[in-house]
C-alpha cells in the first residue's frame, strides 16, 4: 500500500449550497466524501481538513499554515495533494516551491471551477487526475486540472475562460 496525503483548504471545490442564504459557501467539508468514491486498491488516502476558505480570502498566515501542514507530512516521503481555491492556488504553490527546495515526492495542487456534486462539476475529474499525477510525476510542485499538468512556475489562471494556462505561449 502506498500513501497519498491530502490537505484540503477549501475553495470552490468544497463549497456547498446554503438553503437559508441561497448562496454557495465553504461551510462543511466535502472532499473526503468524493475521494471515497474513487477505487484505489493500492493507495491509502490520508486527508487533513486544514481550513475551509475561499482562496481569495486566504491570508499570508493561512499560506504559512499550509506550508506547515506540508512540512509535517513530508518526512513520510509520500506524495501530497492539496485541494485549494483556484484564484490563489498558484500563489500558495509558489510559496511551497520556494520554501521546500528538496522534495522527494510530488506536491499536486488541484481545485474546481464548479463545486463537487453540482451539475457539470469538474471537481471529481480533478481529484482523480491529481491522484494519478502523484503517481507519475517526479518530485516538484504542480497544478493538475482539466487533464493538464503544469509546473507551478509556468502556470496562471485564465479567469475569463475558467481554466489554467501556461504563462508563456505553450498550447
Give min distance, CB of 171 to a copy of itself, in A: 6
Q: Give the nearer residue to a copy of itself in terms of CB position, either 4 or 95.
A: 4
Q: What is the CA radius of gyration of the chain?
A: 15
Which of 3, 48, 148, 154 binds a copy of itself (CB under 8 A)? It is 148
Q: Give the nearer residue to a copy of itself in terms of CB position, either 19 or 61.
A: 19
d(CA 81, CA 73): 11
Contact between 116 and a copy of itself by CB under 8 A: the answer reads yes
Give min distance, CB of 162 to a copy of itself, in A: 4
Strands annotated E in 58-117: 80-83, 106-110
Contact between 17 and a copy of itself by CB under 8 A: the answer reads yes
Q: What are phi and psi of 121, to 5 degrees?
A: -65, 140
d(CA 168, CA 16): 35
Q: In angstroms, what CA-CA distances link 16 with 23, 33, 42, 145, 152?
A: 8, 13, 30, 20, 28
Q: What are phi and psi of 158, to 5 degrees?
A: -100, 95
Contact between 141 and a copy of itself by CB under 8 A: the answer reads no
Which residues bind to a copy of itself, rule: CB under 8 A? 1-2, 12, 16-17, 19-20, 22-24, 38-43, 54, 113-120, 122, 124-125, 128-129, 131-133, 135-137, 144, 146-149, 159-163, 171
Amino acid at each position: 500500500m502506498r500513501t497519498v496525503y491530502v490537505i484540503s483548504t477549501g475553495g470552490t471545490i468544497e463549497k456547498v449550497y446554503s438553503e437559508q442564504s441561497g448562496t454557495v459557501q465553504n461551510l462543511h467539508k466535502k472532499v473526503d466524501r468524493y475521494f471515497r468514491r474513487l477505487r484505489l486498491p493500492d493507495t491509502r488516502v490520508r486527508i487533513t481538513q486544514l481550513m475551509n476558505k475561499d482562496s481569495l480570502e486566504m491570508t499570508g498566515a493561512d499560506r504559512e499554515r499550509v506550508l506547515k501542514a506540508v512540512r509535517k507530512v513530508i518526512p513520510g516521503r509520500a506524495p501530497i495533494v492539496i485541494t485549494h481555491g483556484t484564484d490563489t492556488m498558484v500563489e500558495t504553490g509558489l510559496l511551497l516551491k520556494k520554501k521546500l527546495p528538496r522534495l522527494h515526492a510530488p506536491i499536486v495542487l488541484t481545485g474546481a471551477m464548479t463545486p463537487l456534486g453540482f451539475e457539470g462539476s469538474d471537481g471529481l475529474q480533478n481529484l482523480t487526475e491529481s491522484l494519478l499525477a502523484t503517481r507519475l510525476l517526479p518530485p516538484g510542485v504542480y497544478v493538475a486540472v482539466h487533464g493538464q499538468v503544469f509546473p507551478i512556475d509556468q502556470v496562471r489562471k485564465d479567469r475569463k475562460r475558467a481554466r489554467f494556462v501556461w504563462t508563456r505561449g505553450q498550447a
